[in-house]
Chains A and B, each alone.
Chain A
Protein backbone atom coordinates (compact mmCIF):
# COMPACT_ATOMS: atom_id res chain seq x y z
CA UNK A 1 0.00 0.00 0.00
CA UNK A 2 1.30 3.45 -0.88
CA UNK A 3 0.68 6.11 1.76
CA UNK A 4 0.17 8.84 -0.83
CA UNK A 5 -2.80 7.04 -2.30
CA UNK A 6 -4.48 5.56 0.70
CA UNK A 7 -7.89 6.37 -0.75
CA UNK A 8 -7.29 4.33 -3.91
CA UNK A 9 -5.99 1.45 -1.82
CA UNK A 10 -9.11 1.64 0.33
CA UNK A 11 -11.39 1.75 -2.71
CA UNK A 12 -9.63 -1.37 -4.02
CA UNK A 13 -10.43 -3.12 -0.74
CA UNK A 14 -14.11 -2.15 -0.91
CA UNK A 15 -14.24 -3.24 -4.57
CA UNK A 16 -12.74 -6.62 -3.64
CA UNK A 17 -15.41 -7.08 -0.96
CA UNK A 18 -18.15 -6.10 -3.40
CA UNK A 19 -17.08 -8.63 -6.01
CA UNK A 20 -16.63 -11.28 -3.31
CA UNK A 21 -12.98 -11.69 -4.28
CA UNK A 22 -11.83 -13.18 -1.00
CA UNK A 23 -8.31 -13.84 -2.23
CA UNK A 24 -7.91 -10.13 -2.88
CA UNK A 25 -9.59 -9.23 0.41
CA UNK A 26 -7.18 -11.44 2.36
CA UNK A 27 -4.23 -9.47 1.04
CA UNK A 28 -5.49 -6.38 2.90
CA UNK A 29 -5.48 -8.07 6.31
CA UNK A 30 -2.53 -8.33 8.68
CA UNK A 31 -2.31 -11.78 10.30
CA UNK A 32 -3.18 -10.28 13.71
CA UNK A 33 -6.10 -8.20 12.42
CA UNK A 34 -8.70 -7.35 15.05
CA UNK A 35 -12.10 -6.77 13.47
CA UNK A 36 -15.25 -5.93 15.37
CA UNK A 37 -18.56 -4.49 14.29
CA UNK A 38 -20.77 -5.17 17.26
CA UNK A 39 -22.16 -8.34 15.66
CA UNK A 40 -18.94 -10.21 15.09
CA UNK A 41 -15.52 -10.06 16.66
CA UNK A 42 -12.51 -11.59 14.92
CA UNK A 43 -9.07 -11.72 16.51
CA UNK A 44 -7.12 -12.71 13.41
CA UNK A 45 -7.17 -12.43 9.65
CA UNK A 46 -8.01 -16.12 9.52
CA UNK A 47 -11.10 -15.60 11.66
CA UNK A 48 -12.17 -12.60 9.56
CA UNK A 49 -11.76 -14.57 6.35
CA UNK A 50 -13.74 -17.47 7.83
CA UNK A 51 -16.50 -14.98 8.65
CA UNK A 52 -16.49 -13.81 5.00
CA UNK A 53 -16.47 -17.40 3.71
CA UNK A 54 -19.37 -18.43 5.91
CA UNK A 55 -21.69 -16.01 4.10
CA UNK A 56 -20.21 -16.37 0.61
CA UNK A 57 -22.84 -17.34 -1.92
CA UNK A 58 -25.60 -17.07 0.65
CA UNK A 59 -25.67 -13.30 1.16
CA UNK A 60 -24.99 -10.74 -1.54
CA UNK A 61 -23.24 -7.78 0.01
CA UNK A 62 -22.80 -4.31 -1.39
CA UNK A 63 -20.69 -1.68 0.36
CA UNK A 64 -20.79 2.00 -0.52
CA UNK A 65 -18.36 4.58 0.83
CA UNK A 66 -20.55 7.53 1.77
CA UNK A 67 -17.92 9.60 3.57
CA UNK A 68 -14.18 9.22 3.74
CA UNK A 69 -11.37 10.99 5.54
CA UNK A 70 -7.91 9.81 6.42
CA UNK A 71 -4.47 10.50 7.74
CA UNK A 72 -1.45 8.23 7.37
CA UNK A 73 -2.23 5.00 9.18
CA UNK A 74 -5.89 5.63 9.82
CA UNK A 75 -9.06 5.88 7.78
CA UNK A 76 -12.48 6.98 9.00
CA UNK A 77 -15.30 6.02 6.66
CA UNK A 78 -19.05 6.05 6.61
CA UNK A 79 -20.08 2.81 4.97
CA UNK A 80 -23.56 1.94 3.75
CA UNK A 81 -23.93 -1.82 3.65
CA UNK A 82 -26.74 -3.58 1.83
CA UNK A 83 -27.06 -7.30 2.34
CA UNK A 84 -29.53 -9.50 0.51
CA UNK A 85 -30.09 -13.16 1.34
CA UNK A 86 -29.83 -15.55 -1.60
CA UNK A 87 -31.29 -18.28 0.62
CA UNK A 88 -32.46 -18.55 4.21
CA UNK A 89 -29.57 -17.60 6.47
CA UNK A 90 -30.52 -18.62 10.02
CA UNK A 91 -26.98 -17.98 11.30
CA UNK A 92 -26.73 -14.43 9.98
CA UNK A 93 -24.99 -12.22 12.58
CA UNK A 94 -27.52 -10.27 14.63
CA UNK A 95 -30.72 -11.88 13.40
CA UNK A 96 -31.68 -14.53 10.82
CA UNK A 97 -32.26 -13.45 7.22
CA UNK A 98 -34.97 -15.02 5.08
CA UNK A 99 -34.38 -15.70 1.39
CA UNK A 100 -34.82 -12.48 -0.56
CA UNK A 101 -34.73 -10.33 2.55
CA UNK A 102 -32.59 -7.24 2.31
CA UNK A 103 -31.02 -5.30 5.14
CA UNK A 104 -29.33 -1.92 4.89
CA UNK A 105 -27.19 -0.41 7.60
CA UNK A 106 -24.78 2.46 8.01
CA UNK A 107 -21.60 2.15 10.00
CA UNK A 108 -18.95 4.64 11.04
CA UNK A 109 -15.78 2.63 10.67
CA UNK A 110 -12.24 3.26 11.87
CA UNK A 111 -9.50 1.39 10.03
CA UNK A 112 -5.97 1.24 11.43
CA UNK A 113 -3.19 0.40 9.01
CA UNK A 114 0.38 -0.77 9.52
CA UNK A 115 2.90 -2.10 7.03
CA UNK A 116 0.39 -1.91 4.22
CA UNK A 117 -2.35 -3.93 5.88
CA UNK A 118 -5.34 -3.38 8.12
CA UNK A 119 -4.46 -4.25 11.70
CA UNK A 120 -7.71 -3.10 13.30
CA UNK A 121 -11.19 -2.44 11.94
CA UNK A 122 -13.86 -1.11 14.28
CA UNK A 123 -17.41 -0.40 13.11
CA UNK A 124 -20.02 1.52 15.08
CA UNK A 125 -23.66 1.39 13.94
CA UNK A 126 -25.12 4.76 12.99
CA UNK A 127 -28.66 4.82 14.29
CA UNK A 128 -30.27 7.88 12.70
CA UNK A 129 -32.79 7.47 9.94
CA UNK A 130 -31.14 7.85 6.50
Chain B
Protein backbone atom coordinates (compact mmCIF):
# COMPACT_ATOMS: atom_id res chain seq x y z
CA UNK B 1 0.00 0.00 0.00
CA UNK B 2 1.40 3.40 -1.00
CA UNK B 3 2.25 5.47 2.07
CA UNK B 4 2.64 8.90 0.47
CA UNK B 5 -0.73 10.33 -0.58
CA UNK B 6 -0.77 9.75 -4.34
CA UNK B 7 -2.14 13.19 -5.18
CA UNK B 8 0.31 15.14 -3.08
CA UNK B 9 2.19 16.47 -6.11
CA UNK B 10 1.39 16.01 -9.80
CA UNK B 11 -2.28 15.06 -10.02
CA UNK B 12 -2.31 14.29 -13.74
CA UNK B 13 0.64 11.92 -13.48
CA UNK B 14 -0.84 10.30 -10.39
CA UNK B 15 -4.15 9.90 -12.18
CA UNK B 16 -2.43 8.24 -15.15
CA UNK B 17 -0.79 5.77 -12.75
CA UNK B 18 -4.14 5.09 -11.09
CA UNK B 19 -5.81 4.35 -14.42
CA UNK B 20 -2.88 2.17 -15.50
CA UNK B 21 -3.27 0.14 -12.31
CA UNK B 22 -6.99 -0.15 -12.91
CA UNK B 23 -6.43 -1.31 -16.49
CA UNK B 24 -3.94 -3.90 -15.28
CA UNK B 25 -6.33 -5.22 -12.66
CA UNK B 26 -3.86 -4.16 -9.99
CA UNK B 27 -6.51 -3.34 -7.40
CA UNK B 28 -4.03 -3.15 -4.55
CA UNK B 29 -2.36 -0.18 -6.22
CA UNK B 30 -5.67 1.30 -7.37
CA UNK B 31 -7.05 1.09 -3.83
CA UNK B 32 -4.03 2.97 -2.49
CA UNK B 33 -5.53 6.03 -4.18
CA UNK B 34 -8.73 5.75 -2.15
CA UNK B 35 -9.60 7.30 1.18
CA UNK B 36 -10.98 4.86 3.73
CA UNK B 37 -14.52 6.11 3.16
CA UNK B 38 -14.37 6.09 -0.64
CA UNK B 39 -17.70 6.16 -2.46
CA UNK B 40 -17.78 5.48 -6.17
CA UNK B 41 -20.87 6.16 -8.28
CA UNK B 42 -20.78 4.41 -11.63
CA UNK B 43 -22.53 5.66 -14.76
CA UNK B 44 -25.84 3.90 -14.13
CA UNK B 45 -26.17 5.51 -10.69
CA UNK B 46 -25.10 2.55 -8.58
CA UNK B 47 -23.02 3.55 -5.57
CA UNK B 48 -20.10 1.38 -4.41
CA UNK B 49 -19.02 2.06 -0.83
CA UNK B 50 -15.53 1.24 0.39
CA UNK B 51 -12.53 -0.47 -1.19
CA UNK B 52 -13.96 -3.94 -0.70
CA UNK B 53 -17.17 -3.32 -2.63
CA UNK B 54 -15.29 -1.55 -5.43
CA UNK B 55 -12.83 -4.43 -5.79
CA UNK B 56 -15.62 -7.03 -5.73
CA UNK B 57 -17.57 -5.15 -8.39
CA UNK B 58 -14.65 -4.65 -10.77
CA UNK B 59 -13.31 -8.15 -10.20
CA UNK B 60 -16.68 -9.33 -11.47
CA UNK B 61 -16.47 -6.99 -14.46
CA UNK B 62 -12.99 -8.32 -15.28
CA UNK B 63 -14.24 -11.90 -15.20
CA UNK B 64 -16.58 -11.26 -18.13
CA UNK B 65 -14.98 -8.37 -20.03
CA UNK B 66 -11.61 -6.92 -20.88
CA UNK B 67 -11.88 -3.27 -19.97
CA UNK B 68 -9.47 -0.58 -21.07
CA UNK B 69 -9.83 2.97 -19.85
CA UNK B 70 -8.26 5.78 -21.83
CA UNK B 71 -7.86 9.23 -20.29
CA UNK B 72 -8.94 11.73 -22.92
CA UNK B 73 -8.40 14.69 -20.61
CA UNK B 74 -7.94 15.45 -16.96
CA UNK B 75 -7.30 18.52 -14.87
CA UNK B 76 -7.23 19.05 -11.15
CA UNK B 77 -7.22 21.43 -8.24
CA UNK B 78 -6.14 20.58 -4.70
CA UNK B 79 -9.57 19.17 -3.91
CA UNK B 80 -10.98 17.88 -7.16
CA UNK B 81 -10.03 16.25 -10.43
CA UNK B 82 -12.19 16.23 -13.53
CA UNK B 83 -11.66 13.68 -16.26
CA UNK B 84 -13.04 12.74 -19.61
CA UNK B 85 -12.66 9.01 -20.08
CA UNK B 86 -13.23 6.48 -22.80
CA UNK B 87 -13.74 2.91 -21.67
CA UNK B 88 -13.78 -0.06 -23.98
CA UNK B 89 -15.40 -3.26 -22.78
CA UNK B 90 -14.78 -6.42 -24.78
CA UNK B 91 -17.03 -9.27 -23.69
CA UNK B 92 -15.02 -12.44 -23.21
CA UNK B 93 -18.20 -14.40 -22.60
CA UNK B 94 -21.93 -13.77 -22.93
CA UNK B 95 -22.98 -11.25 -20.28
CA UNK B 96 -26.79 -11.00 -20.31
CA UNK B 97 -26.86 -8.94 -17.11
CA UNK B 98 -24.07 -6.50 -17.88
CA UNK B 99 -24.61 -3.16 -16.14
CA UNK B 100 -25.00 -1.18 -19.37
CA UNK B 101 -27.05 -3.81 -21.19
CA UNK B 102 -26.63 -7.37 -22.45
CA UNK B 103 -23.37 -8.27 -24.19
CA UNK B 104 -22.56 -11.32 -26.25
CA UNK B 105 -19.08 -12.79 -26.39
CA UNK B 106 -17.02 -10.65 -28.76
CA UNK B 107 -19.24 -7.58 -28.46
CA UNK B 108 -17.51 -4.33 -27.68
CA UNK B 109 -18.96 -1.36 -25.91
CA UNK B 110 -17.42 2.08 -25.71
CA UNK B 111 -18.42 4.55 -23.04
CA UNK B 112 -17.44 8.20 -23.15
CA UNK B 113 -17.90 9.53 -19.64
CA UNK B 114 -17.24 12.59 -17.54
CA UNK B 115 -16.10 12.02 -13.98
CA UNK B 116 -15.43 14.06 -10.88
CA UNK B 117 -12.97 12.84 -8.27
CA UNK B 118 -13.05 14.57 -4.88
CA UNK B 119 -9.60 14.63 -3.28
CA UNK B 120 -9.21 14.60 0.48
CA UNK B 121 -5.72 14.61 1.99
CA UNK B 122 -4.24 13.40 -1.26
CA UNK B 123 -6.65 10.53 -1.86
CA UNK B 124 -9.95 10.07 -3.65
CA UNK B 125 -12.86 10.29 -1.24
CA UNK B 126 -15.66 10.36 -3.81
CA UNK B 127 -15.75 9.40 -7.46
CA UNK B 128 -18.78 10.11 -9.62
CA UNK B 129 -19.20 9.27 -13.27
CA UNK B 130 -21.83 10.27 -15.80
CA UNK B 131 -22.15 8.66 -19.21
CA UNK B 132 -22.10 11.08 -22.11
CA UNK B 133 -22.11 8.61 -24.95
CA UNK B 134 -22.38 4.84 -25.41
CA UNK B 135 -21.55 2.92 -28.55
CA UNK B 136 -22.08 -0.81 -29.03
CA UNK B 137 -20.14 -2.70 -31.66
CA UNK B 138 -21.80 -6.05 -31.95
CA UNK B 139 -19.81 -9.11 -32.88
CA UNK B 140 -21.14 -10.39 -36.23
CA UNK B 141 -23.12 -13.62 -36.12
CA UNK B 142 -21.09 -16.59 -37.34
CA UNK B 143 -21.83 -17.35 -40.99
Q: Hey, which bits of chain A sit against chain B, CB under 8 A?
A: 38, 67, 69-71, 74, 76, 78, 107-110, 122-129
Contacts and interface: CB of A to CB of B under 8 A. Distances in A.
A126 B75 contact: no
Contact of B75 (A70, A78, A107): A70
Interface residues of B, number: 22
B131 interface: yes
B9 interface: no
A44 B39 CA distance: 38
A123 B114 CA distance: 9
Nearest to A110: B114
Interface stretch (B14-22, B43-51, B90-98, B135-143): B43-51
Interface of A (DSSP majority class): strand
A69 B84 contact: no
A32 B100 CA distance: 33
B47 A76 contact: no
Interface of B (DSSP majority class): strand
A59 to B, nearest CB: 23
Contacts of B116: 67, 69, 76, 78, 108
Interface of B: 41, 43-47, 73, 75-77, 80-82, 84, 113-116, 128, 130-132
7 contacts: A38-B132, A67-B80, A69-B80, A69-B82, A124-B132, A125-B130, A127-B45
A16 B73 CA distance: 28
A67 B76 CA distance: 12
Given A107-B130, A126-B130, A128-B45, A69 B81 contact: yes
Contacts of B45: 127-129
Nearest to A122: B132
